[in-house]
Amino acid sequence: METEIVYNALKNLENPGDISGEFEQGDSLDGQIILHFPYRPPLRLVIEIKKELRQHQIPQLLERKQEYENFMLVAGKLHPAIKKRLQEEGITYLEENGNIFILNDGTYVFIDTNKPLKTGKSSSKKAFTKTGLKLVFNFLIDPELVNARQRTIAKKSGVSLGTVPKVIKTLKEEGYLIAHKNNYLWEDRKALLDRWVSDYEQQLKPKLFRARYKLREDWQNLKLNQGETHWGGEPAGDLLTGYLRPEEFILYSNESPVNLMKNYSLRPNAEGELFVYEKFWKGDFGPVAPPFLVYADLILKEDKRCRETAQKIFDEYIQPVL
């Protein structure tokens, strides 16, 4: 349970010496922590608990910081780059191993010397490799696919038959899948989506990139080849919500460079506004990529309007199937 992260963090925080704390569950987010210091009054903080934190989730924490005067993130583990960003943004955090950063009304505490906690046997993490991410994407789109025959899963997802049991094993080890009788039940698919979005950005998307182009005509006038080429990113966000005016463009396509230039009047340009990526899923979702992918493209951007559009897509297209 996530509350174990808090109790472990407070226990490990006490080990170095001077700071102690207690946890109170309540109505505010995931509860509150009261920290006690040797020479100053106690500090009460509203907390949000996360096993891990991804870069694209930091803007949400900035909103929490605005909403709650004394806000703290309590996390199982934070990557060094994430911790640096949190420090730059002035976001207070506590790791499960007892590392802590506080910058709050004259209170400054920084401990970053504790070693990462051992997590038992390591997982192969097959679900979060390039190939595994393709399969997990199909599981996100179709939650019932995981209970199909493995040969069917492989065919629909475009992965090898041997990949399927390895990915399912990892998802079970990570707590996203629970075996129930002869089927699997999903657990916390929102957390799985967050994990997929982050690993997609780092592991899969860079390998899918093909080229950049300059658009020669209005993107709305282009007629995409059905089943071969689909809008992603900002234009897809506009088509799904009508909320966004695209400035940067993404196409996911299986068409050759020659056909792309011929069919859509594109000109190769290393600084072009159109980014073309390989289409990595099967099936036809019309001119727009699957909403899960459009959400990922937009939530990873720093632009506020893009993130607002991503939230609209999440609310309308994704939340109902999580």
- Per-residue pLDDT reduced to its tens digit, 190-233: 989 999 998 999 899 999 999 999 999 999 999 999 999 999 99
Residue 18 has pLDDT above 90, yes or no: no
Domain shared by 183 and 241, yes or no:
no
102 and 143 share a domain?
Answer: no
User: In this structure, are residues 293 and 232 in contact, taking their beta carbons and an 8 Å threshold?
Assistant: yes
Report the distance separating Cα 68 and Cα 70, nearest Å.
6
Q: Is residue 193 part of a domain?
A: no
Calpha distance 161→145 (Å, rounded): 14
Residue 165's pLDDT band (cuts 50, 70, 90):
very high
When pLDDT is averaged across residues 151-170 and rounded to a whole number, the result is: 94
Per the listing, tokens 């504790």 go with 114
Residue 83, CA distances (Å) to 53, 74, 110 in order:
10, 12, 11
Residues ≥6 apart with Cβ < 8 Å to 241: 309, 312, 313, 316
Is 195 domain-assigned? no
Spell out the alpha helix ranges (H) of 26-95. 58-67, 80-89
CA distance 306 to 297: 9
How many domains would you assign to the chain? Answer: 3
With 0-12 / 13-18 / 19 or more C-beta atoms within 10 angstroms meaning exposed / middle / buried, residue 135 is: buried
* Domain end residue (candidates: 136, 155, 187): 187
- Least confident window among 46-50, 112-116, 144-148: 112-116
H helix runs in the chain, sequence order: 3-14, 58-67, 80-89, 130-141, 150-157, 163-173, 189-199, 205-208, 233-241, 257-264, 291-299, 304-313
Give me the pLDDT at residue 40, please.
83
Q: Does residue 180 fall inside a structural domain?
A: yes
Whether 30 and 53 map to the same domain: the answer is yes
**313 assigned to some structural domain:** yes
Q: What is the pLDDT of residues 28-52, one digit of tens each?
A: 899 999 999 887 889 999 999 998 8
- What is d(CA 100, CA 165) in angstroms, rounded to the nearest whole number? 39
Q: Which domain holds residue 77?
A: 3-111
pLDDT surpasses 50 at 247: yes
Same domain, 107 and 130: no
Last residue of a domain, one of 187, 218, 237: 187
**Pairwise CA distance, residues 59 & 73, whole Å:** 13
User: Do 79 and 20 reside in the same domain of the chain?
Assistant: yes
Q: What is the pLDDT of residues 289-304, one digit of tens each?
A: 999 999 999 999 989 9
Tell me the pLDDT band of 120, cut-offs 50, 70 and 90.
very low
What are the structure tokens assigned to 18, written together? 């001077």
Mean pLDDT of the chain: 91
Residue 273 lies in a domain: yes
User: Given this model, what pLDDT does residue 302 score?
Assistant: 83
What pLDDT does residue 105 have? 76
Residue 81 has pLDDT above 90, yes or no: no
State whether 224 and 308 are in the same domain: yes
The more confidently predicted of residues 126 and 164 is 164
CA distance 156 to 275: 26
